């Protein structure tokens, strides 16, 4: 795609996003408890954004979130992470969670091998609906998108989707227990990577941005990790000690993994036995 065309698309996307923002950026309706999960989906309020990798359906409730802001300005969110994924995916599959509105999907879809798949997971219903639209906008056919959170086993839990004041958490939506007194939460399926990704698939990268639920997601992926020894890209939150924990040492580092890079708020772990 030429620079002039990219510039035109980017400018058009920004203008459309601003116009739609003025029309649809009304305060979110406040819901509490599990009732949000039981309600029927309403009309999807969103804007269209574009960058060098493609087009995106951005939820209006998340216009204040960093990823949404970047896309609506025609930029790439976490460009170092995206480029590392693109440069290292090769011919193998990628596990990608949480997907948010699909801000990584066009870039990853273009980079993986012709027979490779992207296994994408997003528990927030609105985010998932927008991610589906992002896939359609870009005619992407090599992504397997599931509305679910990742965990140690299959079960039914809840995802918190808004702050106490009702402001959307967007990509920071997090898995919580039933007794959590969250302002807004939805019932959602939790699946294990080992169950969701067939055992005959070769996984080259597992990238987790699951807001403090990384240990549970890794626990449900241990068979896949031991079988494929994929690159691990893990969000490292300030209040998390997972990467320094005994559990991480016994289950991940013991396989030969070592930290090789920091990309934005993520840590990259590579297994020594797979290095050429």
CATH code of the domain in which 119 resides: 3.40.50.150
**Torsion sign over Cα 225, 229, 231, 232:** positive
Given a cut of 50, whether residue 21 has pLDDT beyond it is no
Helices (H), 42-168: 66-72, 79-88, 105-111, 125-137
Given a cut of 70, whether residue 26 has pLDDT beyond it is no
Given a cut of 70, whether residue 108 has pLDDT beyond it is yes
Residue 38 in domain: no
Domain count for the chain: 1
Residue 103 in domain: yes
> Which range marks the domain in which residue 133 is found?
77-274
Residue 71 in domain: no
Q: 31: helix, coil or strand?
A: coil
Residue 21 in domain: no
Kindly report the average pLDDT of the chain as a whole number: 86
Given a cut of 90, whether residue 196 has pLDDT beyond it is yes
Residue 238 in domain: yes
Output 197 or 177, whichever has higher pLDDT.
197
Query: Are 55 and 130 in contact, with CB atoms under 8 Å apart?
Result: no
Output 136 or 273, whichever has higher pLDDT.
136
Average pLDDT (111-119) is 98
Q: What is this structure's pTM?
A: 0.83
Residue 93 in domain: yes
Residue 170 in domain: yes
Helices (H), the chain: 3-24, 35-38, 66-72, 79-88, 105-111, 125-137, 193-196, 214-219, 222-228, 246-251
Residue 173 in domain: yes
Q: Is 9 exposed, middle or buried (0-12, 13-18, 19+ CB in 10 A)?
A: middle
* Structure-derived torsion over alpha carbons of residues 257, 261, 262, 267, reported in degrees to the nearest 10: -10
Comparing 10-24, 67-81, 85-99, 253-267, which segment has the lowest mean pLDDT?
10-24
pLDDT of the residue at 239: 85
Separation of alpha carbons 161 and 50, rounded Å: 25
Given a cut of 90, whether residue 242 has pLDDT beyond it is yes
Residues 172-181 pLDDT 10s: 666 776 666 6
């Amino acid at each position: 795609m030429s620079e002039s065309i990219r510039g035109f698309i980017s400018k058009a996307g920004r203008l459309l996003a601003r116009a739609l923002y003025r029309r649809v950026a009304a305060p979110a309706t406040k819901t509490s408890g599990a009732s949000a999960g039981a309600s029927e989906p309403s009309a999807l309020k969103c804007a269209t954004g574009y960058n060098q990798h493609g087009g995106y359906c951005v939820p209006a409730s998340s216009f204040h979130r960093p990823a949404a802001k970047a896309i609506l300005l025609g930029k790439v969110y976490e460009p170092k992470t995206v480029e590392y994924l693109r440069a290292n995916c090769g011919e193998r599959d990628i596990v990608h969670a949480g997907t948010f509105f699909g801000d990584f999907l066009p870039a990853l879809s273009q980079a993986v091998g012709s027979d490779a798949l992207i296994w994408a997971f997003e528990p927030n219903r609105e985010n998932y609906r927008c991610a589906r639209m992002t896939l359609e906008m870009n005619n992407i056919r090599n992504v397997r998108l599931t509305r679910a959170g990742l965990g140690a086993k299959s079960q039914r839990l809840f995802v918190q989707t808004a702050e106490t004041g009702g402001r959307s958490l967007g990509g920071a939506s997090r898995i919580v227990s039933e007794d959590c007194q969250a302002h807004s939460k939805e019932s959602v399926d939790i699946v294990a990577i080992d169950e969701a990704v067939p055992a005959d698939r070769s996984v080259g990268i597992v990238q987790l941005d699951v807001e403090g639920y990384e240990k549970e997601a890794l626990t449900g992926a241990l068979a896949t990790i031991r079988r494929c020894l994929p690159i691990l890209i893990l969000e490292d939150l300030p209040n998390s000690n997972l990467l320094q924990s005994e559990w991480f040492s016994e289950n991940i580092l013991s396989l030969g993994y070592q930290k090789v890079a920091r990309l934005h708020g993520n840590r990259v772990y590579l297994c020594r036995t797979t290095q050429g």
